[in-house]
C-alpha cells in the first residue's frame, strides 16, 4: 500500500502538472469507486471545476476544486452536501469550493496521459478525468479497494476525521498549504502517545488514528534506524529511545520522499515512473539477508499479524 512518501510524491506531481487545470469531463467506469454519491451526480459536480490546490493528509490526497462564480453545476450543491458542514466560523470556505479526496489503498494508481496516448489497460481504469487541454488523469486499481470522496469540507469525511496527527511538520516540504490542516505531531506529543499504549510499538506506528501516513514499510525501517525491536512494548520505551525513534521516523520518511517513494509492488508516480527508495531499505523484505550494520542474518516474524524484519543484535 502506498504510504506517506508515495502519496507526497504524487501530491507534488499533481502540483507540478495539473494545478490550475480545468476538468472538462469525468467518466466513472466503476461506480463502486465513488463513496456516498451516484456516479452521475459526482460527474456533474466535478465537471467545469478547476484544481486550485493539492494537499495531503496521511495517505489521502485532497484536491481543492473551485467553480467560477455563476457557473454552478445543476447538482453540484447536492454533491457538496454529502457531508455536513462544520459549525459556523470554525473554518473559512470559499464559495464554489469543494474537495475531491482520493485514497489509493492497496494498489491504486493515478496516471497522467497526454492527448495522443491510449488509455492504460490491465487493469482498466476505474475513473477517467479529462482536462480542457486534452490530457487525462486515470485512476487504476487492480484490487479495487481505492475510494474517492467529494465533500464541501474534507474535515467531515469520516475516514479523515478519524486520522491522527501528521508525523512531519505541516508545510515542511516548502509548499504553501491552507492553515486548516490538523496540527502535526512533535516529540513531546509522540512520547505521550507511547506512554498511553501498552501494545507493541510497530502496530502503534501503523495505527492511522495515532499517527497518520506510516505503514509497514516505514515502520520497520524507522525502528531499525532507531535500534528498537518491533515487538517492544510502547510504554516501556525509554525517554532517550523515544527521542531517537521520533528522529528516525522523520528521517526515514524524508529520505523516502527525496527518492520518490518505494516501488515494491504496484506504486508508480503520476507519470508512471517507479520510486527509488526500495533500493535503500535496510530491513523491509530482507529476512535472512545480512544486517547492513553487523552482517548477522536478519530475522523475520509476525507482529500483530503483519510481517516484520529486524536485527536481533542491533535492535533492542
**pLDDT > 90 in the chain, percent:** 80
Indicate whether 11 pLDDT > 60.
Answer: yes
In this prediction, residue 72 carries a pLDDT of 55
In this prediction, residue 117 carries a pLDDT of 77
> Are the CB atoms for 293 and 314 separated by under 8 Å?
yes
- Confidence category of residue 171, pLDDT binned at 50, 70, 90: low
What pLDDT, in 10s, does the model give residues 58-92? 999 999 999 987 665 544 444 444 333 333 334 44
Indicate whether 128 pLDDT > 70.
Answer: yes
Locate all alpha helices (DSSP H) within the chain, ordered by sequence.
Answer: 4-17, 39-46, 76-80, 158-161, 187-195, 201-206, 216-226, 239-258
What pLDDT, in 10s, does the model give residues 292-309? 999 999 999 999 999 999
- Average per-residue pLDDT in the chain? 89
> Are the CB atoms for 104 and 213 separated by under 8 Å?
no
What pLDDT, in 10s, does the model give residues 235-283? 999 999 999 999 999 999 999 999 999 998 899 999 999 999 999 999 9
Kindly report which listed range (5-14, 112-121, 268-277) carries the lowest average pLDDT score: 112-121
Residues 6+ apart with CB under 8 A from 260: 5, 9, 269, 273, 275, 276, 277
What pLDDT, in 10s, does the model give residues 145-157? 999 999 999 999 9
In this prediction, residue 96 carries a pLDDT of 79
Indicate whether 176 pLDDT > 80.
Answer: no
- Confidence category of residue 177, pLDDT binned at 50, 70, 90: very low
Domain 187-310 sits in CATH at 1.10.8.50
* Protein fold of 4-161: N-terminal domain of MutM-like DNA repair proteins (3.20.190)
Q: Is 2 a catalytic residue?
A: yes
Instruction: Please tell me the distance from the alpha carbon of residue 252 to that of residue 6, in angstroms, as a whole number.
Output: 13
In this prediction, residue 74 carries a pLDDT of 44
Q: Is 74 a catalytic residue?
A: no
In this prediction, residue 182 carries a pLDDT of 55
Q: Is 59 a catalytic residue?
A: yes
CA-to-CA dists, residue 122 to 50, 106, 126, 270, 307, angstroms: 29, 16, 11, 17, 28
SS3 78: helix
From 12, 56, 59, 268, the catalytic residue: 59
Give residue limits of the domains in the chain.
Answer: 4-161, 187-310
For 173-202, what is the mean pLDDT? 76
Which cell numbers hold the place of 201? 510499538
Q: Is 80 a catalytic residue?
A: no
In this prediction, residue 28 carries a pLDDT of 97
In this prediction, residue 180 carries a pLDDT of 47
CA-to-CA dists, residue 42 to 1, 81, 124, 148, 171, angstroms: 26, 12, 20, 10, 30
Stated pTM of the model: 0.89
In this prediction, residue 265 carries a pLDDT of 85
Amino acid at each position: 500500500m502506498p504510504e506517506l512518501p508515495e502519496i507526497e510524491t504524487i501530491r507534488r506531481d499533481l502540483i507540478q502538472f495539473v494545478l490550475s487545470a480545468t476538468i472538462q469531463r469525468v467518466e466513472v467506469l466503476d461506480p463502486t469507486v465513488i463513496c456516498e454519491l451516484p456516479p452521475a451526480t459526482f460527474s456533474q459536480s466535478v465537471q467545469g471545476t478547476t484544481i486550485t490546490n493539492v494537499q495531503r493528509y496521511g495517505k489521502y490526497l485532497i484536491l481543492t476544486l473551485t467553480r467560477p462564480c455563476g457557473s454552478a453545476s445543476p447538482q453540484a450543491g447536492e454533491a457538496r452536501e454529502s457531508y455536513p458542514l462544520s459549525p459556523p466560523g470554525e473554518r473559512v470556505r470559499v464559495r464554489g469550493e469543494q474537495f475531491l479526496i482520493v485514497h489509493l489503498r492497496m494498489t491504486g494508481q493515478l496516471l497522467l496521459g497526454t492527448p495522443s496516448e491510449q488509455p492504460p489497460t490491465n487493469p482498466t481504469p476505474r475513473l477517467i478525468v479529462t482536462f480542457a487541454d486534452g490530457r487525462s488523469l486515470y485512476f487504476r486499481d487492480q484490487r479495487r479497494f481505492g475510494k474517492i470522496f467529494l465533500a464541501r469540507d474534507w474535515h467531515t469525511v469520516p475516514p479523515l476525521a478519524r486520522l491522527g496527527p501528521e508525523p512531519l511538520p505541516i508545510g515542511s516540504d516548502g509548499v504553501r498549504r491552507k492553515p486548516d490542516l490538523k496540527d502535526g505531531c512533535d516529540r513531546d506529543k509522540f512520547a505521550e502517545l507511547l506512554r498511553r499504549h501498552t501494545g507493541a510499538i510497530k502496530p502503534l506506528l501503523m495505527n492511522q488514528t495515532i499517527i497518520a501516513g506510516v505503514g509497514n514499510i516505514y515502520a520497520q525501517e524507522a525502528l531499525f534506524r532507531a535500534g528498537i525491536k518491533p515487538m517492544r512494548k510502547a510504554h516501556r520505551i525509554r525517554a532517550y529511545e523515544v527521542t531517537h525513534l521520533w528522529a528516525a521516523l522523520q528521517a526515514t520518511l524524508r529520505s523516502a520522499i527525496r527518492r520518490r517513494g518505494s516501488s515494491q509492488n504496484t506504486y508508480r508516480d503520476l507519470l508512471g515512473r517507479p520510486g527509488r527508495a526500495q533500493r535503500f531499505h535496510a530491513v523491509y523484505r530482507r529476512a535472512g539477508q545480512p544486517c547492513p550494520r553487523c552482517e548477522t542474518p536478519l530475522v523475520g516474524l509476525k507482529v500483530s499479524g503483519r510481517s516484520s524484519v529486524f536485527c536481533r543484535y542491533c535492535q533492542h
